[in-house]
């Protein structure tokens, strides 16, 4: 194991070094970036992406991709918000159950389309990205859930907790990260996800229930997007049919790719993804501090994804070489 | 033995793929404590039968009984749970997982959310690899292991599974004799513990050394089951191919001319190094070796698919640069690749499109395709090579393997090549067509073309070639004239020295 | 059923799901009901520059009499507006104008005189911080024409009026009307300017984000947030003391006024000329200002703990 | 290891009987697209009395014509086994560069060249990463999609940049009653249809998409062909970007936002096989009309965009299921 860690570890160490270098560079220009407060800002920026990235990582490890997560987030947040609006008497923590449940259902539908009809996930989820967004408008009658309907206790979760006042939402996202790590590293099912992505043809011959595992990763991805949905309501205090979750998929995929998860499946770690998310969070937090216009943010995101791809390719040149050989 | 209850009793097993029956009414009893060989030509159905026993395929008809009880094997997993393990013909593995994990994955124990016992797993993996005498770090990912080591991991996995029936589908193909011997020792011990082993191989010596009984398949049917002592080699071959060997193994004499293709010090680090040889017009030069010796890589390098890093290629005496297959084609080279489905055919495109693919200039003088010209060319080729098909417009995927292979050959003959590189041209095609192929190769040489024939079938090389080159571990180890060539000479050159020494 | 020749009016919003337009649309609905016009609300899914064009084309094809629109672009709609007007359709921009291309529409209905918004907002933040200390602006996008006009007004007021001499505008930042970005910008403001006393966010998304940051940091006493916001979004912040007061106008009245104006112009009872006046129920006498611009109210409405529950938008 | 299975499948099969002609002609995705198109026209006419008006439909088509033009080239890329999700962003960036340059005083012809050249460069960049570095095109072009539009935003900010009056209004120029963008689309359809259908270049695109390894072995220069396609789509995207600028009269970074989905949708609806090797220009041509009819019909019936999004999502999924089914039946 130590050897595996040392090999795979290189990639994570690389991202970690990038984070440190970035922080130092920004810190030289703006010393206030190197304060505990910045850490707070970054950590409050990333919980949703972190949660989404864990789900997306499972899907990508299994050699698929889920582009619909932003719309899943929006739909589950919207339905949950509507429950809060029309049934304020319902005990609010049930909202978590509802949001996660709806997310899981939508994720499962993606999985069914991918497995039963044998369609490529990229196209299926491009379709459901629109479909779920459309449904969000339809169920909500294109109306926003305003702040006043979101339970105060839910909103408070994004602001504080009894534990050093660190908001619950941060604990929740870290718990998801830890659970994903445990699941992937220490359960047989987790290893089967790696195996499936590593060699989908061999998987059934080794007794892996390919359909089951595929459905599972899509369902988990959906469920975590659902969780991100209700946390969106907590963090921002409202749910909007068009904004909520829009573009979420790109941030998440960017983070996962930067974190070193191979788009060809089978390769990638929770730690790497975690660092990928943090790096994006640092960039997002540093830009306004440096007074860089918000309009450059997308260009930087795009550039970071491309650079990550190039790094990925360099780091794994050997692997790519053998792939090229098989393909050429 | 026949009095005992068979571990496996197969009755009337048949298997259909699409409309084709590849196994027909196979009855076979396998007993505890025996090593049972399955023999048969390529495509006879050995692997299919093995896969049915291991739950990979389900029989179209017929029943299986395990120790007297009828069973249905719904999946490989189900078979595994009942103590049946298959070592696949081509090692299957998860390249991104560690060797240790590859060994353990798929063993039916424990719940899905159960904890993965990393430490225990690694220890167990080390023990198994020691047992097989393989020195590899089990915590490394599978990717990067040699084919032989991958095969050893497969074998270790089967051993570790504690199965009652272990099926080995050509396990020895990539192994050194030392490794083979270790494997045999372990196999015998397993037999003595009362387990059953099915051993599939094309090497008769191995079968004689290891097995108690043999079953011979031909064209999907079981032809014979007998103790190994009861059959001579000649008997076995006759039973396997249904006619004497001699009949199709011959070579017409061609006049050998000037050097058509020469290769000097060709190297591609990691794949092969320092390869030099030449092939003359009218000459058939064989290239033999164990699977993974690098023969295909040399051919791919010459043809410009994955060019070498150093060394020279000369065509008709002139040094040439070949960076792309199109360069090679322009110089009069042709290459029939070993893996037809991957590198040869365009499955869903029509036969005529497949045949005309390498000669765009002939069918479309100004860039615009002339269908009538294309049709005429293809029709001519179909007649000449006796390709059996329903229509030229048919997708080539609907043809049988042998006819697909003929179409690929037809494609290359249209380019009127001076040098023809054939990589395992008869792999996976049936005997009748094979004989036709041998005739055609002979004719091609006779018409003055230079032929480089890569083959893993020794009899094929011995019968057809004027000279046989042998590769091992990416190096050329022998250049044997026809007169001196024999199975032993070629084999001894094919066995890698380095690994042999290391294993000793 | 409506009479055969009932006036057909349509309002095209920036995008669906924008709560601001719910209330504005209501004004149209009630207005048209009172006037006996047919009314439809449509809007594209996204607020990107061209997304409204197919909707305008479709309305032309449907033969409506009036197109009222909150434009997503100041100039990408010129061609299709011309097209509509050449077919005799009255084109009104509502709640935002196509600045610089005014000749391509017939009139614009704005909630208040935008020239005064900047001044009012400065006064508001001044009163909250005792007319002393550093202030900053958190706006929408860098190119938002209305916001930029107001920011100009704020700067002019700060520079010219001695009353605000001790107030210093230290930064203007842009949150692009996205909650995430607005929040990050607000956080950065607080980091970069530890002595900040007040923040003006003249955009509904910005003020909510700013308030949220102040609320979660628990610094409502030190940093005063104000600006333009929707009562429905700000109610909680006002009630828990995060925000003392903020301003806006009545979007409802915009719709109500637009409906009456359109009907009047179409029937010839109102002259669409600068300087002419007309009566609108509940709003009184309205004058057409230079540039064929019409306002619903003279000054901004200020919302605070005392009155916020009186507003339902 | 798939190869093992596939090889065996082929080897075991005797030659199958040929299919009847009607089967070959009728059971194909373009037929499905055509049927849907006819159904859509009837449905839209039933939905709104204002719909059935040729000049209105043509005018509506100009709103999607730019995407439709790019979709034709995208079809070829998908047939070749790759994908490009960046053309809409490419349209925005090249249009922004063009508009920025001419606003900065660069003479118009040169500004136009800058725009088109930028498009070509973007195509080259995509091509280099996909072909040279062998990165998966889907993820590369998601990255460049964000990047190109991001750069457009850096260049133009949130401002819209005006273009000169004489440049405005390509959609209001008519050739025998048909707006120029539609004419361009029809002409390009015919040209590309012929390229794909009867030339060696087109034939080789199908061969690459069917089996790139086999194509290389047969001496087909797949990398060069794919590079040409990426450059072509870069150029055509830039041209489409300029057409959009002319239609709108101004350029903003969000020009063509979300267009990539529409383009993919047109190709898929027209029966282009997402795994490559199959598809026709005719299919995409019909699908472009289908999409315009569907969305125009819904818009003129004042249906909310919510419904439109839902319908588009369902159409995409259904069309790909149908295409898959038709091809796997044809293959058996
Ligand atoms: N999945 C499949 N689909 C269709 N045909 C198949 C399939 N698998 C095997 N076949 C065909 O069944 C026949 C028997 O194949 P099988 O692999 O059992 O032969 P074999 O005896 O193991 O040959 P070899 O010695 O080459 O391994 C061959 O004609 C093969 O092409
Ligand atoms: N799947 C694989 N994984 C790792 N290494 C491989 C794999 N396939 C081939 N190799 C390596 O590539 C090299 C040459 O393989 P190649 O297929 O060219 O040999 P070959 O002699 O042509 O074998 P064959 O008899 O199968 O045609 C060997 O070093 C082998 O270990
Ligand atoms: Mg076999
Ligand atoms: Mg080989």
What's the domain count of chain D?
1
Q: What local confidence, expressed as pLDDT, does residue A10 receive?
A: 63
Q: What local confidence, expressed as pLDDT, does residue C141 receive?
A: 83
Residue A292, CB-side half-sphere exposure with 13 Å CA sphere: 16
Q: What is the mean pLDDT of residues C168-178?
A: 90
The three-state secondary structure class of C262 is helix
- Measured CA to CA, the distance from residue D320 to residue D272 in angstroms comes to 9
Q: Which chains touch B (3 or more CB pairs under 8 A)?
A: A, D
Consecutive H or E run containing D290: helix D281-300
The three-state secondary structure class of D90 is helix
Phi, psi of B477 (to 5 degrees): -110, -10
The strand pairing partners of D289, in sequence order, are: none
Q: Residues A177-195, buried b or exposed e (16+ Cβ, 10 A)?
A: beebbebbbebbbbbbbbb
| D151: containing domain | 66-260+271-280
One domain, residues B241 and B267? no
Q: What local confidence, expressed as pLDDT, does residue A99 receive?
A: 97
One domain, residues B161 and B286? no
Alpha carbon of B479 to those of B211, B489, D276: distances in Å? 34, 10, 44
Judge whether B184 and B7 are in contact, CB under 8 Å. Answer: no
Q: Is the dihedral of CA C48, C52, C53, C55 positive or negative?
A: positive
Q: How many residues does chain D have?
A: 332
Check whether D321 has a pLDDT greater than 90: no
Q: Residue B318 corresponds to which tokens in the numbers above?
A: 């002139």
- Measured CA to CA, the distance from residue D267 to residue D280 in angstroms comes to 9
Residue D116 domain flag? yes
One domain, residues B136 and B272? no
CA-proximal residue: ligand 1, atom 16 (nearest):
B45
Strands in B7-83 per DSSP E: 8-17, 20-30, 35-39, 61-66, 69-71
The strand pairing partners of C225, in sequence order, are: C199
One domain, residues B298 and B180? no
Beta carbons within 8 Å of C142's beta carbon, 6+ residues apart: A293, A294, A295, C174, D157, D158, D159
One domain, residues B209 and B357? no
Residue D78 domain flag? yes
pLDDT profile of chain A (328 residues), mean per 10: 51 82 90 86 92 97 94 97 94 96 98 90 88 92 88 88 86 96 92 92 86 96 98 92 89 88 87 92 86 79 82 59 34
On whether any CB of chain C is under 8 Å from the CB of A296, the answer is no
Residue D197 domain flag? yes
CA-proximal residue: ligand 1, atom 17 (nearest):
B47
pLDDT digits (tens, 9 = 90+) for C50-107: 889 999 999 999 999 999 999 988 888 999 999 999 999 999 999 988 988 999 999 9
- Measured CA to CA, the distance from residue B405 to residue B402 in angstroms comes to 5
Residue D290 domain flag? no
Judge whether B76 and B87 are in contact, CB under 8 Å. Answer: no
Alpha carbon of C313 to those of B237, B389, C21, C239, D11: distances in Å? 92, 76, 10, 16, 73
> CA dihedral defined by B189, B193, B196, B200, rounded to 10 degrees?
0
The ipTM, to two decimals, is 0.83
Judge whether A1 and B139 are in contact, CB under 8 Å. Answer: yes
The strand pairing partners of A224, in sequence order, are: none
Strands in chain D per DSSP E: 161-162, 174-175, 178-179, 250-251
Q: Which residue of A has its CA nearest to C215?
A: A159
Q: What is the mean pLDDT of residues D277-301?
A: 93
Q: What is the residue-wise DSSP string for A40-67? A: HHHHHHSHHHHHHHHHHHHHHHTT---T
**Ligand 1 neighbourhood includes B322 CB (under 6 angstroms):** no
Residue B250 domain flag? no
One domain, residues B224 and B291? no
Beta carbons within 8 Å of C42's beta carbon, 6+ residues apart: C10, C11, C12, C13, C55, C58, C59, D299, D302, D304
Q: Residue A311 corresponds to which tokens in the numbers above?
A: 């790094």
Residue B2 domain flag? no
Lookup result for tokens 């130092």: A24
Residue B425 domain flag? yes
One domain, residues B216 and B312? no
Residue D51 domain flag? no
For chains B and C, tell me whether 3 or more CB atom pairs sit within 8 A of each other: no
Q: What is the mean pLDDT of residues C212-228?
A: 91
Check whether D9 has a pLDDT greater than 70: no
Residue D331 domain flag? no
Cα angle at B380 between B377 and B383, to 5 degrees? 150
One domain, residues B270 and B411? yes
Judge whether B96 and B143 are in contact, CB under 8 Å. Answer: yes
pLDDT digits (tens, 9 = 90+) for D82-97: 999 999 999 999 999 9
Consecutive H or E run containing B272: strand B272-280
Q: What is the mean pLDDT of residues D117-126?
A: 97
Task: Give burial (CB, 10 Å; 0-12/13-18/19+) of A325.
Answer: middle
Which residue, B184, B216, B245, sits at the end of a domain?
B245
Alpha carbon C299 to its chain's center: 13
Q: Residue B58 corresponds to which tokens in the numbers above?
A: 């389900």
On whether any CB of chain B is under 8 Å from the CB of D208, the answer is no
Residue B134 has what DSSP assignment?
Answer: -
One domain, residues B220 and B277? no
Q: What is the 3-state secondary structure (H, E, C) of A129-157?
A: HHHHHHHHHHHHCCCCECHHHCCHHHHHC
Characterize the bridge pairing of strands B196-200 and B165-169: parallel
- Measured CA to CA, the distance from residue B283 to residue C237 in angstroms comes to 92
- Measured CA to CA, the distance from residue B198 to residue D64 in angstroms comes to 65
Q: What is the 3-state secondary structure (H, E, C) of B307-357?
A: CCCEEEEEECCEEECCCCHHHHHHCCEEEECCCHHHHHCCCCCEHHHHHHC
Check whether C161 has a pLDDT greater than 70: yes
Q: Residue B473 corresponds to which tokens in the numbers above?
A: 């571990």
Q: What local confidence, expressed as pLDDT, does residue B483 receive?
A: 86
Cα angle at A314 between A313 and A315, to 5 degrees? 95
What's the domain count of chain B?
2
CATH of the domain at B363: 3.40.50.300
Q: State in Å: Cα B151 to ligand 3 middle.
A: 15
- Measured CA to CA, the distance from residue B400 to residue B409 in angstroms comes to 14
Q: State in Å: Cα B147 to ligand 3 middle.
A: 17
pLDDT, tens digit only, all 504 positions of chain B: 555 788 999 999 999 876 678 899 999 999 999 999 998 876 788 989 999 999 999 999 999 999 889 999 988 888 888 899 999 877 788 888 999 988 877 665 667 777 788 888 899 899 988 888 888 888 888 887 877 788 888 888 888 888 899 999 888 877 777 888 889 999 999 999 999 999 998 778 889 999 999 999 988 899 999 999 999 888 887 887 775 544 445 555 678 889 999 999 999 988 899 999 999 999 999 999 877 788 999 999 999 999 999 999 999 999 999 999 999 999 999 999 988 888 899 988 999 999 999 999 999 988 899 999 999 999 999 998 888 888 888 888 878 777 888 999 999 999 999 999 999 898 767 666 777 888 889 889 989 999 999 998 788 888 889 999 999 888 999 999 988 888 778 878 887 665 455 444
Alpha-helical runs (H) found in B415-471: 431-446, 458-464
* Structural domains for chain A: 30-316 (1.10.3470)
Q: Is the dihedral of CA B362, B368, B373, B378 positive or negative?
A: positive
Report which of A143, A184, A162 is spatially closest to residue A60, judged by C-alpha positions.
A184
Q: What is the mean pLDDT of residues C293-301?
A: 88
On whether any CB of chain C is under 8 Å from the CB of D173, the answer is no
- Measured CA to CA, the distance from residue B467 to residue C206 in angstroms comes to 83
Neighboring chain B residues of A3 at a CB cutoff of 8 Å? 137, 139-140
- Measured CA to CA, the distance from residue D64 to residue D76 in angstroms comes to 19
| B482: containing domain | 259-503
Grade residue D226 by pLDDT with cuts at 50, 70 and 90: very high
Alpha carbon B291 to its chain's center: 8
Q: Residue C185 corresponds to which tokens in the numbers above?
A: 């910008």
Report which of D239, D275, D5 is spatially closest to residue D123, judged by C-alpha positions.
D239
**Ligand 2 neighbourhood includes B338 CB (under 6 angstroms):** yes
Arithmetic mean of pLDDT over chain C: 90
Which residue, B195, B220, B245, sits at the end of a domain?
B245
Consecutive H or E run containing B168: strand B165-169
- Measured CA to CA, the distance from residue B403 to residue C174 in angstroms comes to 69
One domain, residues B74 and B200? yes
Q: State in Å: Cα B428 to ligand 3 middle.
A: 9
Q: What is the mean pLDDT of residues D70-88?
A: 96
Judge whether B229 and B207 are in contact, CB under 8 Å. Answer: no
One domain, residues B136 and B285? no
Phi, psi of B218 (to 5 degrees): -145, 130
Taking chain A, what is the end-to-end CA distance rounded to the nearest angstrom?
33
User: Which among B23, B40, B44 is the best mutation to test ligand 1's pocket, defined by most ligand atoms within 8 Å of the CB?
Assistant: B44
One domain, residues B198 and B298? no
Q: What local confidence, expressed as pLDDT, does residue A8 receive?
A: 46
Alpha carbon of A130 to those of A136, B203, D307: distances in Å? 10, 59, 10
On whether any CB of chain B is under 8 Å from the CB of A144, the answer is no
Lookup result for tokens 């006619």: B243
Which residue, B222, B245, B268, sits at the end of a domain?
B245
On whether any CB of chain C is under 8 Å from the CB of D153, the answer is no
Q: What local confidence, expressed as pLDDT, does residue D18 receive?
A: 54
Q: What local confidence, expressed as pLDDT, does residue B3 receive?
A: 59
Strands in D119-245 per DSSP E: 161-162, 174-175, 178-179
CB-nearest to B96 from A3, A189, A198 is A198
Q: What is the mean pLDDT of residues D84-111?
A: 96
CB-nearest to A191 from B77, B116, B122 is B116
């Amino acid at each position: 194991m130590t050897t595996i860690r040392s090999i795979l570890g290189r990639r994570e160490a690389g991202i970690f070094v990038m984070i440190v270098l970035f922080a130092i560079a920004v810190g030289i220009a703006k010393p206030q970036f190197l304060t505990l407060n910045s850490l707070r800002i970054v950590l409050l920026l990333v919980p949703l992406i972190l949660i989404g990235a864990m789900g997306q990582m499972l899907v990508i490890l299994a050699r698929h991709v889920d582009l619909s997560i932003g719309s899943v987030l929006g739909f589950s947040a919207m339905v949950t918000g509507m429950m809060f609006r029309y049934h304020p008497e319902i005990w609010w923590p049930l909202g978590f159950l509802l949001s996660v449940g709806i997310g899981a259902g939508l994720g499962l539908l993606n999985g069914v389309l991918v497995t039963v009809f044998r369609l490529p996930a990229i196209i299926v989820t491009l379709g459901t990205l629109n479909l779920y967004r459309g449904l969000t408008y339809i169920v909500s009658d294109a109306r926003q859930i305003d702040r006043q309907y979101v339970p105060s206790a839910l909103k408070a979760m994004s602001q504080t907790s009894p534990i050093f006042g660190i908001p619950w939402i941060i604990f929740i996202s870290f718990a998801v990260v830890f659970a994903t790590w445990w699941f992937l590293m220490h359960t047989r099912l987790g290893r089967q996800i790696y195996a499936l992505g590593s060699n989908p043809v061999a998987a059934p011959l080794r007794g892996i229930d390919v359909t089951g595992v595929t459905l599972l990763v899509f369902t988990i991805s959906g469920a975590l997007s659902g969780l991100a949905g209700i946390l969106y309501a907590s963090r921002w205090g409202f749910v909007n049919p068009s904004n909520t979750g829009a573009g979420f998929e790109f941030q998440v995929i960017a983070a996962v790719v930067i974190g070193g998860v191979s788009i060809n499946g089978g390769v990638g770690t929770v730690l790497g993804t975690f660092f990928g998310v943090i790096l994006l969070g640092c960039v997002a937090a540093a830009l306004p501090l440096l007074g860089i216009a918000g309009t450059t943010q997308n260009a930087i995101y795009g550039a970071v994804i491309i650079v990550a791809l190039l790094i990925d390719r360099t780091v794994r040149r050997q692997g790519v070489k053998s792939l090229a050989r098989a393909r050429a | 033995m026949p009095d005992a209850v068979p571990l496996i009793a197969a009755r009337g097993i048949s298997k259909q793929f699409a409309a084709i029956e590849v196994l027909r009414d196979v009855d076979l009893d396998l007993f505890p404590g025996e090593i049972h060989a399955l023999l048969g030509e390529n495509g006879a159905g050995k692997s299919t039968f093995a896969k049915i026993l291991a739950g990979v395929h389900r029989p179209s008809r017929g029943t299986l009984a395990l120790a007297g009880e009828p069973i249905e094997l719904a999946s490989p997993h189900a078979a595994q749970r009942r103590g049946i393990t298959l070592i696949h013909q081509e090692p299957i593995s998860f390249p991104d997982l560690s060797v240790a994990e590859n060994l353990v994955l798929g063993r039916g124990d424990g719940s899905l959310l159960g904890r993965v016992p990393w430490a225990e797993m690694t220890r167990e993996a080390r023990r198994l690899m020691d047992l097989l005498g393989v020195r590899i770090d089990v915590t490394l990912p599978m990717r990067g292991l040699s084919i032989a080591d991958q095969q050893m991991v497969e074998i270790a996995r089967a051993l570790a599974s504690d199965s009652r029936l272990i099926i080995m589908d050509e396990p020895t193909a990539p192994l050194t004799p030392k490794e083979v011997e270790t494997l045999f020792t372990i196999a015998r011990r397993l037999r003595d513990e009362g387990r059953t082993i099915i051993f599939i191989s094309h090497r008769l010596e191995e079968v004689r050394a290891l097995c108690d009984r043999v079953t011979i398949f031909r064209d999907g049917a079981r032809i014979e089951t007998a103790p190994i002592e009861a059959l001579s080699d000649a008997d076995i071959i006759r039973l396997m191919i249904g006619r004497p060997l001699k009949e199709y193994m011959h070579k017409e004499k061609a006049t050998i001319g000037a050097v058509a293709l020469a290769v000097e010090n060709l190297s591609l680090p990691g794949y092969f190094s320092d390869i030099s040889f030449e092939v003359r017009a009218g000459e058939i030069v064989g290239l033999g070796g164990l699977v993974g010796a690098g023969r295909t890589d040399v051919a791919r390098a010459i043809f410009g698919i994955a060019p070498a890093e150093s060394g020279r290629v000369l065509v008709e005496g002139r040094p040439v640069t070949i960076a792309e297959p199109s360069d090679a084609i322009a110089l009069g080279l042709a290459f029939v690749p070993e893996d037809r489905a991957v590198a040869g055919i365009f499955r869903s495109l029509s036969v005529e499109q497949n045949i005309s693919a390498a000669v765009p200039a002939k069918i479309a003088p100004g860039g615009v395709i002339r269908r009538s010209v294309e049709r005429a060319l293809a029709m001519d080729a179909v007649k000449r090579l006796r390709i059996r098909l329903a229509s030229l417009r048919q997708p080539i995927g609907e043809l049988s393997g042998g006819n697909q292979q003929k179409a690929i050959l037809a494609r290359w003959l249209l380019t009127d090549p001076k040098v023809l590189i054939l990589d395992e041209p008869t792999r996976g095609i049936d005997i009748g067509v094979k004989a036709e192929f041998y005739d055609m190769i002979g004719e091609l040489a006779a018409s003055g073309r230079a032929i480089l024939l890569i083959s893993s079938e020794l009899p094929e090389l011995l019968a057809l070639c004027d000279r046989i080159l042998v590769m091992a571990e990416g190096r050329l180890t022998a250049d044997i004239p026809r007169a001196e060539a024999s199975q032993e000479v070629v084999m001894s050159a094919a066995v890698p020295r380095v690994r042999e020494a290391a294993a000793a | 059923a409506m009479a055969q020749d009932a006036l057909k009016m349509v309002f095209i919003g920036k995008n669906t799901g924008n709560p601001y337009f719910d209330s504005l649309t209501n004004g149209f609905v009630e207005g048209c009901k009172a006037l006996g016009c047919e009314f439809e609300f449509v809007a594209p899914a996204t607020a990107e520059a061209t997304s409204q064009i197919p909707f305008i084309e479709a309305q032309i094809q449907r033969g409506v009499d009036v197109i009222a629109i909150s434009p997503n672009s100041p100039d990408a709609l010129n061609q299709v507006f011309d097209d509509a007007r050449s077919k005799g359709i009255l084109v009104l921009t509502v709640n935002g104008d196509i600045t610089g291309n005014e000749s391509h529409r017939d009139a614009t209905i704005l909630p208040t005189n935008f020239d005064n918004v900047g001044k009012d907002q400065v006064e508001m933040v001044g009163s909250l911080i005792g007319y002393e200390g550093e202030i900053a602006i958190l706006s929408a996008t860098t190119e938002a024409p209305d916001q930029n006009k107001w920011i100009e007004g704020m700067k002019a007021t700060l520079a010219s009026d001695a009353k605000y001499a001790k107030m210093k505008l230290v930064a203007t930042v842009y949150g692009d009307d996205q909650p995430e970005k607005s929040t990050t910008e607000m956080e950065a403001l607080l980091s970069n300017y530890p002595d900040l006393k007040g923040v003006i966010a003249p955009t509904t998304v910005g003020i909510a984000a700013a308030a949220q940051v102040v609320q979660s940091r628990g610094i409502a006493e030190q940093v005063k947030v104000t600006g333009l916001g929707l009562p429905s979004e700000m109610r909680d912040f006002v009630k828990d003391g995060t925000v003392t007061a903020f301003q806006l106008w009545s979007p409802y009245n915009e719709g109500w006024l637009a409906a009456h104006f359109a009907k009047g112009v179409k029937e010839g009872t109102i002259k669409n000329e600068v300087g002419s006046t007309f009566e609108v129920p509940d709003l009184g006498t309205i004058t057409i200002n230079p540039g064929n611009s019409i306002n619903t109210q003279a000054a901004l409405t200020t919302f605070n703990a005392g009155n916020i529950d009186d507003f339902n938008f | 290891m798939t190869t093992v299975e596939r090889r065996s499948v082929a080897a075991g099969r005797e030659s199958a009987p040929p299919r009847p002609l009607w089967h070959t002609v009728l059971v194909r995705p373009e037929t499905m697209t055509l049927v849907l198109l006819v159904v859509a026209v009837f449905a839209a006419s039933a939905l709104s009395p204002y719909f059935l008006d040729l000049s209105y439909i043509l005018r509506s088509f100009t709103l999607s014509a730019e995407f439709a033009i790019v979709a034709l080239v995208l079809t070829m890329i998908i047939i070749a086994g790759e994908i490009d999700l960046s053309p809409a962003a490419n349209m925005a960036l090249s249009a922004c560069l063009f508009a920025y340059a001419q606003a900065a005083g660069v003479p118009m012809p040169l500004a136009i060249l800058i725009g088109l050249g930028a498009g070509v460069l973007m195509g080259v960049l995509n091509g280099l990463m996909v072909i040279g570095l062998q990165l998966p095109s889907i993820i590369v072009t998601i990255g460049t999609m964000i990047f190109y539009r991001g750069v457009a935003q850096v260049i133009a900010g949130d401002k819209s940049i005006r273009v000169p009056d004489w440049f405005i209004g390509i959609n209001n120029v008519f050739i025998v009653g048909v707006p120029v963008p539609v004419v361009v689309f029809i002409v390009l359809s015919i040209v590309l249809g012929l390229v794909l259908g009867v030339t060696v270049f087109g034939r080789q695109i199908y061969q690459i998409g069917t089996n790139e390894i086999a194509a290389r072995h047969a001496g087909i220069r797949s990398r060069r062909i794919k590079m040409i396609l990426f450059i072509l789509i870069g150029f055509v995207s830039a041209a489409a970007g300029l057409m959009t600028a002319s239609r709108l009269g101004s350029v903003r970074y969000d020009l063509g936002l979300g267009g990539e989905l529409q383009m993919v949708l047109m190709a898929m609806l027209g029966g282009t096989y997402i795994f490559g090797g199959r598809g026709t220009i005719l299919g995409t041509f019909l699908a472009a009309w289908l999409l315009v009819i569907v969305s125009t019909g819904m818009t003129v019936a004042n249906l909310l965009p919510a419904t439109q999004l839902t319908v588009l999502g369902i159409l995409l999924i259904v069309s790909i299921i149908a295409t898959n089914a038709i091809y796997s039946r044809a293959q058996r």
